[in-house]
């Protein structure tokens, strides 16, 4: 049984409600904070998530925030999940309702039997509550008004007061929060003590007025291990440093700005000569996206490893320059942190809606390499790999993050690096080779892989020079408008794209627990919710082979996977089924075999959404385990074969 705060009497008075069946869970529930942007709540909410991690319990946190600086609603969702799922589940078990503007919407989102934490300083009418939700009122404003005289302090410390109250209600170890305070305010004793005081104001009130803990509790575990809590932009920026990048040119745009800022941070730490203090990097905040991509192409032409970070609107502006980099064959790396679209769209919401615009960026016949990381760890790996691929293929390479990966903290395995790894600069002809009489044609394919040799500016005083142009040319970079020379060059570029197919990251294939004639394909951040959904679907006896795509151009294993199944679900976060379109266009797949599952409201996709959508369609298609099929294990993969 649980109690609910009286709605009409003293907010501190509680009454028993024997009719209410409250949710009772340990280390498996969702807390959502509903705040006002600019109220200082982000710090307190982040402390809540990190304190639970310090208790050894995994969390999956998502910040859903507006595109203005102050005043609009913002939400921070923390999923406490000992099982380790990293995606959003869907639904809320405890709502911390701090924003009157969104009260009705926030209360409606709570699961039946859930909890509502709110500021009870001002009495609210019964119509503002739900009979199937336990209301936990704490007079936060009154407590702060009695304790602090400064208006800004009253607002800021109210967040810490509710953090303290939640620590008592959820049995969260307050000493972990205090340790985080000590780290955050090291050397600032006044701030440290004031935050401790606010924390215990809330905690003491909750302990005195509630039967703590409530049905939702955090119990100390050892389930986090060595994993780290990091966002994809930070990880990708560090990957760029390890990948040899020395030049970044960018124009601020949400949600990619923090990637360039993180690159600057890592460069100041890792690219400054200790003895001289000389900086071995160049970072330029350009006047617009056109300038930034132009600077990157110029630096890369000169031999530097260079990149820009942008989002969909920036990619739209860069189209002509991207065509130049493709046709002049200049290594270029772009980090596209995708957001709600089109136009300005929803700058602080997530989507996967730039696939088509990046895969075929610029006018005419162009195709670009896309890397599709699923979490910050792969952002680091692909962030470094992109520069090797760009140099080796002499072409633009996109690393396709999205806001959910880029700006959210994810629990990941530690980032690792092989110190024996060396940069792959691809086919670069040296002065010695030129002096030895090697035939140099800037667009000459000497071995059939479509990739010509290049020289760096200044390689030789008299040999190896060429005219870089975006116009048509022959194999030796001489201007021509002859049709056969143009066709020859375009066919070579297509051969190079085929070479890319063999060296980009392979898709990850995993067989279902039972043989099945159905499969599912996805990419990127969808994988977090996808993993949990697949487990839930198996509990419903819906078994799916699964294939996670990690790069474009597509590996041959992808059309083979589709051909081996009667039904294949394609899960992606955009309206127009862009991954499906690419699969049909590039692989010649019959679109009737592909069933789209599309999520594009700007919030990260949830397990419940995927499970519901696939479950309904799978039952319609009568997707059931197959009999008479056995799997043969080959290496790390399972291969299906019909039993003899």
The string of pLDDT tens digits covering residues 593-611 is 999 999 999 999 999 999 9
- In terms of phi and psi (left: phi > 0; alpha: psi -120 to 50; beta: otherwise), the region of 307 is beta
pLDDT at position 14 over 80: no
As a whole number of Å, the CA-based R_g of the chain is: 28
Q: Give residue 630's pLDDT.
A: 46
Backbone angles phi, psi at 327, to 5 degrees: -80, -35
- Specify whether the backbone of 507 is left (phi greater than 0), alpha (psi in -120 to 50) or beta: beta
Q: What is the pLDDT of residue 68?
A: 76
Which of 171, 181, 256 is CA-nearest to residue 211? 171
Q: What pLDDT sits at residue 71?
A: 80
313 lies in some domain: yes
Judge contact between 503 and 450, C-beta under 8 A.
no
Decide if 23 is inside a domain: yes
Query: Which residues are bridge partners to 78 per DSSP?
Result: 31, 61
Residue 527 within any structural domain of the chain: yes
Contact 299, 306 (CB under 8 A): yes
Report the 10 Å Cβ neighbour count for 281: 18
Distance CA 518, CA 502 (A): 27
- Give the per-residue pLDDT at 362: 97
pLDDT for 322 beyond 70: yes
The domain boundary, picked from 166, 189, 217, lies at: 217
Q: Would you say 170 and 214 are in contact if contact means Cβ atoms under 8 Å apart?
A: yes
Smallest Cα–Cα separation from 51: which of 152, 199, 158, 194? 199
Q: What is the mean pLDDT of the chain?
A: 93
Q: State the Cα angle at 99 between 98 and 104, rounded to 5°.
A: 110
Q: Indicate which CATH number applies to the domain containing 261.
A: 3.40.50.970
Question: In the chain, what's the furthest Cα-to-Cα distance?
Answer: 95
First to last CA, the chain: 58
What CATH number is given to the structural domain containing 514?
3.40.50.920
pLDDT tens sequence across 111-132: 999 999 999 999 999 999 999 9
- Residue 424 inside a domain? The answer is no
The alpha-helical segments, DSSP class H, found in 210-288 are 232-242, 257-270
Three-state DSSP state, 599 = coil
Which structural domain, as residue segments, surrounds residue 447?
431-503
Give the residue-averaged pLDDT of 155-162. Answer: 94
> Whole-model pTM?
0.93
Residues 100 and 239 in one domain: no
Stretch 79-96: mean pLDDT: 98
Is the pLDDT score of 631 beyond 50? no
Average pLDDT over residues 534-553: 98
In this prediction, residue 67 has a pLDDT band, given cuts at 50, 70 and 90, of: confident
Which of 503, 526, 555 is where one domain is finished?
503
Which CATH number covers residue 154? 3.40.920.10
How many C-beta atoms lie closer than 10 Å to residue 2's C-beta?
Answer: 18
pLDDT of residue 7: 35
Mean pLDDT, rounded, for 557-572: 98
pLDDT digits (tens, 9 = 90+) for 479-520: 999 999 999 999 999 999 999 999 999 999 999 999 999 999
Q: Are residues 493 and 512 in the same domain?
A: no
Q: Given 472, 503, 534, which residue is the final one in a domain?
A: 503
Q: What is residue 19's predicted lDDT score, i.e. its pLDDT?
A: 52
- When pLDDT is averaged across residues 174-187 and rounded to a whole number, the result is 95
pLDDT at 632: 43
How far is the CA of 619 from the CAs of 518, 614, 625, in angstroms? 12, 8, 12
User: Do 515 and 625 touch, CB atoms closer than 8 A?
Assistant: yes
**Do residues 455 and 366 both lie within one domain?**
no
Give the per-residue pLDDT at 105.
97
Residues 134 and 65 in one domain: yes
What integer pLDDT is reported at residue 13 of this predicted model?
A: 37
As a whole number, mean pLDDT of residues 31-42 equals 93
CA 457 – CA 256 distance, rounded (Å): 31
Across the range 168-177, mean pLDDT stands at: 98
Q: Are residues 50 and 189 both part of a single domain? A: yes
What's the pLDDT at 366? 98
Residue linked to tokens 């700005």: 257
Helix axes 232-242, 257-270, angle to 10 degrees: 40
> Residues 472-482: what's their mean pLDDT?
96
Is residue 613 over pLDDT 80? yes
Residue 371 to residue 377: CA distance in whole angstroms: 13
Rounded Cα distance between 502 and 75, Å, is 43
**Does 446 lie in the same domain as 406?**
no
Task: Tell me the angle at which helices 151-169 and 140-147 cross, rounded to the nearest 10 degrees.
Answer: 130
Question: Please, which pLDDT band fits residue 190 given cuts at 50, 70 and 90?
Answer: confident
Residue 420 lies in a domain: no
- Respond yes or no on whether the N-terminal peptide bond of residue 553 is cis (omega within 30° of 0): yes
* Res. 166 pLDDT band, cuts 50 70 90: very high
Same domain (yes/no): 178, 274: no
Structural domain tally of the chain?
4
**One-letter-per-residue 3-state SS of 84-153:** CCCCECCCEEEEEECCHHHHHHHHHCEEEEEEEEEECCCCCCHHHCCCCCEEEEECHHHHHHHHCCCHHH
What is the model's pLDDT at position 629? 54
Whether 136 and 172 map to the same domain: the answer is: yes
């Amino acid at each position: 049984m649980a109690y609910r705060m009286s709605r009409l009497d003293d907010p501190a008075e509680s009454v028993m409600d024997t009719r209410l069946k409250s949710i009772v869970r340990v280390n498996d529930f969702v807390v959502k904070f509903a705040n006002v942007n600019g109220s200082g709540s982000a710090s307190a909410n982040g402390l809540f998530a990190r304190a639970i991690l310090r208790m050894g319990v995994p969390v999956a946190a998502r910040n859903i925030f507006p595109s203005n600086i102050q005043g609009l609603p913002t939400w921070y969702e923390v999923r406490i999940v000992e099982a380790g799922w990293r995606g959003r589940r869907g639904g809320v078990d405890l709502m911390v309702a701090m924003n009157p503007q969104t009260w009705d919407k926030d209360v409606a989102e709570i699961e039946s039997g859930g909890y509502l934490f709110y500021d009870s300083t001002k009495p609210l009418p019964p119509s503002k509550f739900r009979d199937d939700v336990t209301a936990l009122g704490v007079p936060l404003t009154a407590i702060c008004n009695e304790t602090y005289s400064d208006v800004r302090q009253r607002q800021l410390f109210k967040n810490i007061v509710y953090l303290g109250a939640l620590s008592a209600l959820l049995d969260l170890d307050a000493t972990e929060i205090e340790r985080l305070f000590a780290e955050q305010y090291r050397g600032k004793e006044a701030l440290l003590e004031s935050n401790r005081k606010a924390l215990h104001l809330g905690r003491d009130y909750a302990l005195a007025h509630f039967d703590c803990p409530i049905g939702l509790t955090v119990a100390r575990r050892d389930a986090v291990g060595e994993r780290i809590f990091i966002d994809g932009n930070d990880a990708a920026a560090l990957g760029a440093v390890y990948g040899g990048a020395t030049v970044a040119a960018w124009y601020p745009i949400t949600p990619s700005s923090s990637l360039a800022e993180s690159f600057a941070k890592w460069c100041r730490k890792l690219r400054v000569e200790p003895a001289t203090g000389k900086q071995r990097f160049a970072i330029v905040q350009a006047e617009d996206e056109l300038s930034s991509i132009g600077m990157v192409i110029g630096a890369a032409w000169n031999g530097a490893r260079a990149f820009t970070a942008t989002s969909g609107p920036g990619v739209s502006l860069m189209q002509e320059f991207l065509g130049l980099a493709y046709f002049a064959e200049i290594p270029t790396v772009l980090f596209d942190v995708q957001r709600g679209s089109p136009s300005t769209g929803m700058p602080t919401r997530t989507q996967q809606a730039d696939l088509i615009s990046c895969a075929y960026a610029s006018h005419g016949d162009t195709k670009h390499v896309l890397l599709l990381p699923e979490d910050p760890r792969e952002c680091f790996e692909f962030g470094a790999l992109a520069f090797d691929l760009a140099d080796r293929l002499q072409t633009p390479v996109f690393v396709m993050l999205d806001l959910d990966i880029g700006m959210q903290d994810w629990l990941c395995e530690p980032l690792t690096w092989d110190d024996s790894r060396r940069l792959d600069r691809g086919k670069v002809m040296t002065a010695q080779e030129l002096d030895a009489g090697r035939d140099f044609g800037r667009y000459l394919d000497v071995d059939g892989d479509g990739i010509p040799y290049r020289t760096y500016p200044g390689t030789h005083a008299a040999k190896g020079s060429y005219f870089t142009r975006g116009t048509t040319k022959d194999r030796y970079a001489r201007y021509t408008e002859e049709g056969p020379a143009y066709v020859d060059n375009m066919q070579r570029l297509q051969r190079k794209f085929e070479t890319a197919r063999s060296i980009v990251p392979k898709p990850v294939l995993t067989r279902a627990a039972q043989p099945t004639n159905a499969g599912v394909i996805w990419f990127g951040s969808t994988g977090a919710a996808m993993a949990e959904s697949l487990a839930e679907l198996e509990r419903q006896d819906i078994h799916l082979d699964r294939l996670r795509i990690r790069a474009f151009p597509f590996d041959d294993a992808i059309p083979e996977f589709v051909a081996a199944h009667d039904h294949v679900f394609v899960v992606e976060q955009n309206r127009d089924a862009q991954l499906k379109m690419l699969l049909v266009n590039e692989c010649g797949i019959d679109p009737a075999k592909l069933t789209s599952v599309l999520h594009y409201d700007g919030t990260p996709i949830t397990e419940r959404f995927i499970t519901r959508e696939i479950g309904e369609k799978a039952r319609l298609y009568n997707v059931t385990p197959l009999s008479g099929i056995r799997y043969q294990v080959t290496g790390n993969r399972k291969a299906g074969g019909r039993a003899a």
